[in-house]
Amino acid sequence: MRRVVVIGGGSSAGAPAAFTAKAFYKDASVTLIKREEKTLVPCGIPYVFGTLKGVDDNVFSNERYEKRGVSLVIDEATKINRERKVVRTASGREIPYDKLVLATGSSSIKPPIEGIDLKNVFFVEKDYEYIRRFLEALGGKKKVVIIGGGFIGVELGDELRKRGLEVSIVELMPHCLQAAFDDEFCELAETKLRERGIKIFTGCKVESILGDGEGRVRGVRLDGGDVLDADVVVVAVGLKKEVSLATDAGLEVDERYGVVVDEYQRTSDEDIFAVGDCAFKRSFFTKKPSMIMLAPVGSYEARIAGANLFEPRRRNEGVIGTFSTAVGDLALAASGLTERVARAEGIRYVVGSVEIPDKHPPTMPGIRRIKMKLMFDAKTETLIGGQLSGSYVVGEIANIIATMIRKKMTVDEVATAQVGTHPLLTAPPAFYHITQAAEDARAKL
């Protein structure tokens, strides 16, 4: 019997790698090794602090493994012996493999800030017990400062505000969410955050985290000299790839971008694959290395690797990057390149913009307006990016845009896309947002 072993947390990358392997190679034994009995759903972690009832509401069920025919080992993989083709664990077990998938993920970056080790300074770790302690530590607290205004910082801030806490977000870049959106969409998010009572400090660097003399945090000092009072500080400035197992095993690893893989997710050892945050990624557009680390990207890579273990079947075309988030009742989503990135890459582009209701006719109760822009390469006329804001439906519209980008649809193909509409569910057929934004771009090309 062929033996497949997956090492990873068992959610967005590890689980789909194991499930895909079992689906394609039904005669193979598939084993997944993960450290913890309870695995958190990474994207749901911020919602543990407000929307959900607690940490247990954000756990990936272990029952899924048994139902899919995957054996589960709760242990820590500590060493890979490539010559003998075994994985050694912390408990002393040796688990043999014919094909191995690394889905070791990422962990929070801990920047060299003075005071970062003080009590009540937390990170957004993908660790059940750690997040449980973090949640407990909020009891009786009033003021929270979040260092980092990316998706995690913004979502966590919004959730903590629901608990009645006073929240401040400090972001080094000129805007929150700037890595994924252009300025006008970042400003919409910041306006909504302020409406919800969250203080925003952009273009600011944290100089130090201040203690109270007894080892507990009391505030954050900014580079301009201002001090923000805090009972709790959360550091959410990004992720670092967990590649120590791969490095120790002698696999090719790029110090910044992770475990080097080919288009089939194979590492420098043809019997070892890597997926998810730990794996090297390339841009769909430029084929240059990409630092995008998203759960859906990890799942995409996992479904490629799982199918390719014993025979190449699927190919990684590169990372498009599709994002979505919500602040209160405002949802924002994006797919592909922003104008900022396109300019940096020297890509000439044209933008088509519209603002259209999400239902029809305009008298329909509960109607919201969707603001959208689509970007087309001026030379090839293919769709290369889209951003939108409005009601929660924008998350799925961004997925449609991602598919159009992947299929390299031209402005005329997008403008004539066949869509279904309904008064309660969508924009009107004569003015469907995607087709109308494409028509606006066509007029400018």
Q: pLDDT tens digit string along 383-394?
A: 999 999 999 999
CA distance 100 to 245: 12
Contact 195, 327 (CB under 8 A): no
Band (pLDDT 50/70/90 cuts) for residue 272 is very high
Is 240 a residue whose pLDDT tops 80? Answer: yes
**What is the predicted pLDDT for the residue at 11?**
81
CA 273 to chain centre: 21
Give backbone dihedrals phi and psi of 141, rounded to 5 degrees, phi first: -90, 155
Band (pLDDT 50/70/90 cuts) for residue 176 is very high
Q: Which CATH superfamily is domain 121-237 in?
A: FAD/NAD(P)-binding domain (3.50.50.60)
Express each pLDDT in 56-88 by its tens digit: 999 999 999 999 999 999 999 999 999 999 999
User: Residue 317's CB: how many other CB atoms inside 10 A?
Assistant: 13
**What is the predicted pLDDT for the residue at 67?**
94
Which burial class, exposed, middle or buried, applies to 400 when counting CB atoms under 10 A from its CB (0-12, 13-18, 19+)?
Answer: middle
Structure-token pair, residue 158:
């919004």
Which among 198, 150, 142 has a CA at the least distance from the CA of 173? 150
The domain segmentation of the chain, as residue ranges, is 3-107+240-308, 121-237, 329-444
Band (pLDDT 50/70/90 cuts) for residue 244 is very high
Tell me 45's DSSP state: G
Express each pLDDT in 115-168 by its tens digit: 999 999 999 999 999 999 999 999 999 999 999 999 999 999 999 999 999 999
Topology at the third CATH level for domain 3-107+240-308: FAD/NAD(P)-binding domain (3.50.50)
Give backbone dihedrals phi and psi of 178, rounded to 5 degrees, phi first: -70, -20
Is 286 a residue whose pLDDT tops 90? Answer: yes
Across the range 377-387, mean pLDDT stands at: 98
What is each CA distance from 26 to 29, 70, 275, 306, in whole angstroms?
A: 8, 11, 21, 12
Express each pLDDT in 302-344 by its tens digit: 999 999 999 999 999 999 999 999 999 999 999 999 999 999 9
**What is the predicted pLDDT for the residue at 247?**
98
Does the CA dihedral 41-89-109-320 come out positive or negative? negative
Is 10 a residue whose pLDDT tops 80? Answer: no
Is 41 a residue whose pLDDT tops 90? Answer: yes
Band (pLDDT 50/70/90 cuts) for residue 301 is very high
**What is the predicted pLDDT for the residue at 9?**
80
Contact 443, 416 (CB under 8 A): no
**What is the predicted pLDDT for the residue at 182?**
98
Which among 236, 193, 176 has a CA at the least distance from the CA of 46? 236
Across the range 188-199, mean pLDDT stands at: 98
> Locate tokens 């260092």: which residue?
147
Is 424 a residue whose pLDDT tops 80? Answer: yes
Amino acid at 421: T
Which among 217, 346, 368, 371 has a CA at the least distance from the CA of 285? 346
Terminal-to-terminal C-alpha distance of the chain: 58
Does the CA dihedral 197-198-203-208 come out positive or negative? positive
Q: Tell me if domain 3-107+240-308 and domain 121-237 are identical in fold.
A: yes
Topology at the third CATH level for domain 329-444: Enolase-like; domain 1 (3.30.390)
